Amino acid sequence: MADRLTLQDPRTQYPVPPFPKQPQPVPGIAAQMNPKPDHGEESYVGSGKLTGRKALVTGADSGIGRAAAIAYAREGADVALSYLPAEEEDAKAVVALIEAEGRKAIALPGDITDENWCRDLVAQTVEQLGGLDILVINAGRQQYRDAIDEVSSDDFDRTMKTNLYAMHWIAQAAVPHLPAGASVITTASVQAYEPSAILLDYATTKAGIVAYTKALAKQLIEKGIRANVVAPGPFWTVLQSSGGQPQEKVMEFGKQSQFGRPGQPVEIAPVYVLLASQEGSYITGEVFGVTGGAGIA
């Protein structure tokens, strides 16, 4: 794990490609990745920015969701974690890290393509945490297909339901519980602005997340609630090795960035903290790109 408090060259702060081939079945396990991602397990240092807050993070078992959940706990928040039952191994590790900070961790395994579960997920979070004031809708489905005729109706449907429908169902269920000062954060992608040919359905949903969140922000500010989008570039997460990219691209993942490497999940966690905290009190309807220098337009 990199020392994040010492001045150093960001180009060499974390592993650079080439990486070994590492195919995994969906949804993949972060603990089996090589090199292992840095989600902040040892490297994120909190400073009490979210003391007493109550967060729900979807896709919290690994990747960017895991990094946000760890950061939130280190900043003083209790956290409910949404993830697929198949991701239990990773989720248990996150629960242990949150509890090690003296914070409450609620494990909520289930499939967010099920509308009833999305609504129950929110209800259980509110009941077990005693409220909700940070909502991070982050879980996503990404499976590459080389050509349009390979994107089946089932592919399209599952990607839409995971990335868009679930966002709507969860937000709709959560808004009545959010107090003034609360924050909603969604995860889009640079793919919303510069889509890859092999990510037709995924890129479409990420553009939809941007539009939905900007519209939602206009509604929610009338209640004193902020809503913003984070748009990552190439981050080293299990989403890539479990079918999100061809293995040849996994081996060189992040090389095309100006850093010559992929981002590590911990490197984007501070953005989720800022947007959740009162320090971000004048930020709403914005898209924060963390793309390794590619920018968003």
What percent of the chain clears pLDDT 70, i.e. is strictly above it?
A: 99
Q: What angle do CA 72, 163, 239 make, to 5 degrees?
A: 70
pLDDT of residue 90: 96
Over residues 201-213, mean pLDDT: 98
Domain ranges of the chain: 30-281
297 pLDDT above the threshold of 80: no
Helix or strand (DSSP H, E) at 187: strand 183-187
- What is the CATH architecture assignment of 30-281? 3-Layer(aba) Sandwich (3.40)
What pLDDT digit, counting tens, does each position of 130-154 carry? 999 999 999 999 999 999 999 999 9
Q: Which residues are catalytic?
A: 202
Q: What share of the chain is helix, strand, coil (3-state, %, to 5)?
A: 45, 15, 45
The pLDDT mean for the chain works out to 97
What pLDDT digit, counting tens, does each position of 225-241 carry? 999 999 999 999 999 99
What pLDDT digit, counting tens, does each position of 152-166 carry? 999 999 999 999 999
Helix or strand (DSSP H, E) at 205: helix 200-220
2 pLDDT above the threshold of 80: no
CA neighbor of 245 nearest in space, from 141, 139, 143 = 143
pLDDT of residue 4: 78
192: confidence class by pLDDT, cuts 50, 70, 90: very high
- pTM beyond 0.75, yes or no: yes
Over residues 199-210, mean pLDDT: 98
27 pLDDT above the threshold of 90: yes
